[in-house]
């Protein structure tokens, strides 16, 4: 028993917001600085009342339509998010209600920017165990709601969005291999170190990051995870048609491709138009590349995540 992606969808809220627009809104930055350091030119920002489950709903409906699958036929819903609508219930349960699905197993996965790769791996294991047949796996984030808009070192980097896939039981792969890792010793280099206690926010409720430490960590573990995944599947990295790493910074993508000896034209890049959308970035990039006709049926893809925790991982699949 294997699992296979049968439908993909995504959603970006509102119009694209250009780097210059951020400078016009009073942030001490420039298009030149953001574009040259990160490759980011645009991002999409959700309205104040717009939540991760709202974005997830649009992406999920597209993925279900692409799979020709009714919401009622889904028996597993996993939402990867670090910006849930509520402390509880889970965003997966809220999405389930919005989709009109009843009875499916539903829960969130919290692995920050590795969230989608974690969630897809968990869903694959559920399906391969035989306990579930049809999963909806979503990455959805509204990071704009947890940014300190007076901190130019972080607020220009992130955007909002959602991506979703339908993953179904199949007698051929599908997902060939996956690997997940974490090292909590590095929790402080990327975190939102706050919480709510007795109705009061304690600590700091905004995203904080040591950008250079994150950069170095990301380049190292993305290349290692991809190599490990190829070893598990017993395939050569040269058989990969498309590499889709987490979209945080185009320089990280270039360095990862260099380390893996994969030409840059095999790397899907969407960070220029989406910014860093955390758990949504990989399925957003995947959906765009499929809809643009770049990724085609029968091709081999490596998906990769890296983010707060620290967490990282990779999934190798034939589409
Ligand atoms: O999902 C994973 C999450 N994050 C990442 O993957 C991010 C990884 N890290 C990075 O992408 C890069 O480290 C950054 C893009 C965040 C920063 O680039 P950098 O080349 O490491 O810049 P820096 O932090 O060393 O800052 C250089 C200068 C500083 O000025 P001084 O001290 O040299 O005068 C900053 O104050 O750039 C300044 N700066 C800015 N200037 C204009 C920082 N942010 C901005 C800004 N606009 N938005």
User: Which ligand 1 atom is nearest residue 215's CA?
Assistant: 8
Distance CA 27, CA 5 (A): 41
Residues 196 and 297 in one domain: yes
246 flagged as catalytic: yes
Stretch 198-227: mean pLDDT, rounded?
Answer: 96
CB proximity list for 171: less than 8 A, separation 6 or greater:
1, 2
Q: Which of 110, 138, 172 is the last residue of a domain?
A: 172
Indicate which residue of 44, 132, 246, 274 is catalytic. 246
**Three-state DSSP class for residue 291:** helix
With H, G, I as helix, E, B as strand and everything else as coil, classify residue 144: helix
Is 48 in the active site?
no
What is the mean predicted confidence (pLDDT) over 93-121?
98
Residues 91 and 6 in one domain: yes
**Residue ranges making up the domain that contains 75:** 2-172
CATH number, residue 311: 3.40.47.10
Residues 138 and 116 in one domain: yes
Q: To the nearest 10°, report the CA torsion of 109, 112, 113, 118.
A: -30
Predicted pLDDT of residue 272: 98
Choose one of 172, 204, 232: the last residue of a domain.
172
Half-sphere exposure at residue 54, Cβ-oriented, CA atoms within 13 angstroms: 13
pLDDT (tens digit, 9 = 90+) per residue, 268-281? 999 999 999 999 99
Cα 153-256-5 angle, rounded to 5 deg: 100
Which atom of ligand 1 sits closest to the CA of residue 249?
A: 11
| Helix 250-260, helix 211-233: angle, nearest 10 | 40
CB 222 near ligand 1, within 6 Å: no
User: Mean pLDDT for the chain?
Assistant: 97
> Burial letters for 40-49: b for 16+ Cβ neighbours within 10 Å, e otherwise?
bbbbbbbeee
Say if pTM beats, i.e. exceeds, 0.85. Answer: yes
When computed from its CA atoms, the radius of gyration of the chain, rounded to whole angstroms, is 18
């Amino acid at each position: 028993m294997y699992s296979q992606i049968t439908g993909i969808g995504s959603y970006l809220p509102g119009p694209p917001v250009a780097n210059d627009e951020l400078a016009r809104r009073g942030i001490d930055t420039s298009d030149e600085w953001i574009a040259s350091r990160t490759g980011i030119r645009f991002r999409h920002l959700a309205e104040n009342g717009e939540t991760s489950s709202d974005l997830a709903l649009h992406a999920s409906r597209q993925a279900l339509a692409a799979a020709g699958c009714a919401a009622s036929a889904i028996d597993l819903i996993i939402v990867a998010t670090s910006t849930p609508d509520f402390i509880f219930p889970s965003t997966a349960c809220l999405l389930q209600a919005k989709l009109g699905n009843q009875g499916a197993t539903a829960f969130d996965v919290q692995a920050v920017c590795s969230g989608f790769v974690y969630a897809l791996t968990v869903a694959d294991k559920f399906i391969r165990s035989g306990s579930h047949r049809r999963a909806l796996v979503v990455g959805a984030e509204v990071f704009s709601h947890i940014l300190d808009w007076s901190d130019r070192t972080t607020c220009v980097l992130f955007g909002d969005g959602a991506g979703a896939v339908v993953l179904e039981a199949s007698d051929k792969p599908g997902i060939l291999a996956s690997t997940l890792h974490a090292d909590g010793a590095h929790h402080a280099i990327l975190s939102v170190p706050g919480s709510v206690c007795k109705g009061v926010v304690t600590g700091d409720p905004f995203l904080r990051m040591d950008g250079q430490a994150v950069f170095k960590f990301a380049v190292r573990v993305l290349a290692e995870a991809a190599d490990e995944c190829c070893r598990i599947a017993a395939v050569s990295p040269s058989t990969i048609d498309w590499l889709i790493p987490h979209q945080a910074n185009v320089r990280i993508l270039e360095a990862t491709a260099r380390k893996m000896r994969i030409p840059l034209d095999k790397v899907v890049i969407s960070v220029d138009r989406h910014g860093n959308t955390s758990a949504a970035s990989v399925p957003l990039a995947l959906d765009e590349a499929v809809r643009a006709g770049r990724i085609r049926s029968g091709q081999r893809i490596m998906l990769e995540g890296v983010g707060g925790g620290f967490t990282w991982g990779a999934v190798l699949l034939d589409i």
